[in-house]
Structure formats: structure tokens, C-alpha cells
């Protein structure tokens, strides 16, 4: 859902009112097992989009055929659409082949939450890679702190901090800004910040991030980075691409 929501300038809930399959000569190249159709929808709710949209919209969509090779019944079905404006008024273009999704209330709620964060005053930047890592061992066995800087598309500072204390589970947090303060915390699952981290961070700390560290400190930094990856959990991406 986030893969689609962050890319789409236009997100809406609609109800399919008409499905017109195209003849092969009109359809062009269509993947095997699909049929291209001209779809019209009634706009039910605009979730994201500057300037609004028409009450009725149309677009092309490749529909997956059922086990009998037939078109499923889509008329009157509620859908979520991730799109961009088309070439003419009342037309839209889906941003990806899978950008029409069957509507459910949980799905709409998730998309609205993601969109709210995207349009908020403090939007987490896109993570593009890992920068340098630093580790400081504590004065007693089992104590230490690691800080890992992240690369972002905007250049905004983002960093991870992992703290270990004897007899306690490691604690980690992410900071959006130059200073790591007490307000820094691990991101809430399914938030935009969680998505930026869980779905785009590499599984292990690369050698370039620890090239300036002593061997023991580099090993500690790698172990602390694993704490973050385990804490985030799997991305859960179900799309074939992004």
C-alpha cells in the first residue's frame, strides 16, 4: 500500500460503473492471462489530489482472467485507485498495473494514514543508504552505544542509535535531525517512517560504514545494526516490484 501511496499524486475511492473489454486490435500488448478494458468509476471519496477530480472518471486497466479464462464481475465493486491525471478531463492513468485495489475499510484507513504523514509538516525523508557508523564501548562489560547515520534523498539528517546496558535488552531509536534527544524512539509499525526503514535498509551493515572502526568496534556496530533490523521486522512487501 505504501509503495503505491508514496508515488501516486491522485488517490481515490471509487465504484466501478462500467467495464468495456477492448478488442485485441485496440488493446495492444497485454500480459498473458489478462484482458485490457476501459473502466469507468464514480468518485466516492478523494483521498489525495490537488484541485479535485470529476465525479466520473475513466481509465484503462488490465484485468486478470479467472480460472475459466473469463472476466470477473467488477461492476459496482468499490476500489482504491492510485493514479495520475490523464490526457483529457475525466481521464486518469493508473501509476502501475496493480494500482487498482479492491476496497476494504482497513485498506482505506491505512492509505489515509500514510497519506496524512506524506502531506504532514514532518515527513520522514526517503532512505537511500547507510553512512558511517560509530561505536563507543562503555566502562563495564556489556555496555556501549552505536550511532549509524543514514543517507537520504533530501540530505536531511537521520540516524539510528543503539544503547546497551548490562542486564538489559538493547534499546534503539531513530532520530530525525542533527541531535539525538530523549524524544527519539523506535518507529511505530506501519507508519511512514517504519516503511522507509523496514523496506529500504539493507539487511547488514556494509563494510564501508565501519571502515574507520577498530575490529572490535566494527563487530559491535554490526551486532547493534542487527538489533535494529530485527526490531523493525520484515517489510512484508507483496508487490512484485516497486
Q: Which domains does the chain have, with CATH numbers?
A: 2-118 (2.40.50.120), 127-232 (no CATH)
Residues in CB range of 74: below 8 A, 6 or more apart: 16, 19, 39, 63
**pTM, 2 dp:** 0.86
Band of pLDDT at residue 182, cut at 50, 70 and 90: low
Look at residue 192 and give its three-state secondary structure: helix
Q: Which residue from 86, 96, 77, 107 is spatially nearest to 7, judged by alpha carbons?
A: 96
Higher pLDDT, residue 242 or 24: 24
- Average pLDDT of the residues in 221-242: 89
pLDDT tens-digit map of 3-29 = 999 999 999 999 999 999 999 888 888
pLDDT exceeding 70 applies to what percent of the chain? 96
Please report the pLDDT score of residue 140 as a whole number.
Answer: 87
> E strand or H helix at 161, and its extent?
strand 158-164
Please report the pLDDT score of residue 174 as a whole number.
Answer: 94
Please report the pLDDT score of residue 229 as a whole number.
Answer: 97
d(C-alpha 20, C-alpha 23), whole Å? 9
pLDDT tens-digit map of 93-149 = 999 999 999 999 999 999 999 999 999 878 899 999 999 999 999 888 889 999 999
Amino acid at each position: 500500500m505504501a509503495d503505491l501511496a508514496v508515488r501516486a499524486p491522485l488517490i481515490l475511492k471509487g465504484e466501478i460503473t462500467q467495464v468495456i473489454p477492448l478488442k485485441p486490435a485496440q488493446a495492444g500488448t497485454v500480459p498473458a492471462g489478462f484482458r485490457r478494458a476501459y473502466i469507468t468509476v464514480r468518485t466516492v471519496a478523494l483521498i489525495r489530489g490537488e484541485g479535485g477530480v470529476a465525479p466520473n472518471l475513466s481509465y484503462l486497466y488490465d484485468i486478470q482472467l479467472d480460472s475459466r479464462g473469463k472476466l470477473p464481475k467488477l461492476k459496482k465493486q468499490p476500489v482504491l485507485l492510485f493514479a495520475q491525471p490523464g490526457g483529457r478531463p475525466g481521464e486518469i492513468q493508473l501509476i502501475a498495473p496493480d494500482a487498482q485495489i479492491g476496497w476494504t475499510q482497513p485498506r482505506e484507513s491505512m492509505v489515509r494514514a500514510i497519506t496524512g504523514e506524506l502531506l504532514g509538516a514532518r515527513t520522514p525523508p526517503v532512505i537511500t543508504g547507510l553512512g558511517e557508523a560509530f561505536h563507543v564501548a562503555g566502562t563495564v562489560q556489556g555496555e556501549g552505544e552505536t550511532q549509524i547515520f543514514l543517507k537520504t534523498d533530501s540530505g536531511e539528517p537521520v540516524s539510528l542509535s543503539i544503547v546497551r546496558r548490562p542486564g538489559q535488552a538493547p534499546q534503539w531509536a531513530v532520530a530525525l535531525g542533527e541531535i539525538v534527544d530523549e524524544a527519539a524512539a523506535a518507529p511505530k509499525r506501519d507508519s511512514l517512517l517504519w516503511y522507509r526503514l523496514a523496506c529500504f535498509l539493507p539487511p547488514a551493515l556494509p563494510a564501508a560504514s565501519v571502515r574507520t572502526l577498530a575490529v572490535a568496534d566494527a563487530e559491535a556496530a554490526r551486532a547493534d545494526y542487527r538489533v535494529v533490523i530485527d526490531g523493525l521486522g520484515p517489510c512484508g512487501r507483496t508487490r512484485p516490484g516497486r
